[in-house]
Amino acid sequence: MHLFRYRSGELYAEEVPVKQLAEKYGTPLYIYSYNTLVRHLKAYSDAFNDYPHIICFAVKANSNTAILRLFAKNGGGADIVSGGELYVALKAGVPAKKIVYAGVGKTEYEIRFALKSKILMFNVESEAELREIDRIAGKMRTMAPVALRINPDIDPETHPYIATGLKKHKFGIPIEDALEHYRLASRLKNIKIIGVHKHIGSQITKISPFVDALKKILLLIDELSIQGVELKYLDAGGGLGISYRGEEPPVPKELARNLIPLLKNRKLTLIMEPGRSIAGNAGILVTRVLYLKKGAEKEFIIVDAGMNDLIRPSYYNAYHNVIPVLKKKREKVFCDVVGPICESSDFLARDRELKRLKQGEYLAVMSAGAYGFSMSSNYNSRPRAAEVIVKSKGHFLVRKRETYDDLIRNERIPVFLK
| Residue of 1, 226, 296, 342 with catalytic role | 342
CA–CA gap between residue 315 and residue 169 (Å, rounded): 19
Give, to the nearest 10 degrees, the angle between helix 252-263 and helix 34-47.
20
| CB contact set of 338 (below 8 Å; sequence gap of 6+) | 300, 301, 302, 303, 306, 346, 347, 348
Indicate if 56 belongs to the active site. no
Q: 171 near 125, Cβ under 8 Å? A: yes
| β-pair partners for 232 | none
Cα–Cα distance for residue pair 227/76, rounded to 1 Å: 33
Alpha carbon distance 113, 83 (integer Å) = 7
Q: Name the burial class of residue 342, with classes exposed (0-12), middle (13-18) and buried (19+) by CB atoms within 10 angstroms of its CB.
A: exposed
Sign of torsion over alpha carbons 229, 234, 239, 241: positive
Which uninterrupted H or E stretch holds 405? Answer: helix 404-408
- The Cβ of residue 311 has, within 10 Å, a number of other Cβ atoms equal to 20
Q: Give the residues across from 150 on adjacent strands.
A: 173
Surface-to-core class of residue 78, CB atoms within 10 Å of its CB (0-12 exposed, 13-18 middle, 19+ buried):
buried
Query: How far is residue 221 from each of residues 35, 182, 239, measured CA to CA in Å?
Result: 38, 11, 22
The residues, ordered by sequence, that sit 6+ positions from 401 with a Cβ below 8 Å of its Cβ are 25, 26, 383, 384, 385, 386
- How far apart (Å, rounded) are the C-alpha atoms in residues 310 and 299? 21
Which active-site residues does the annotation give?
342
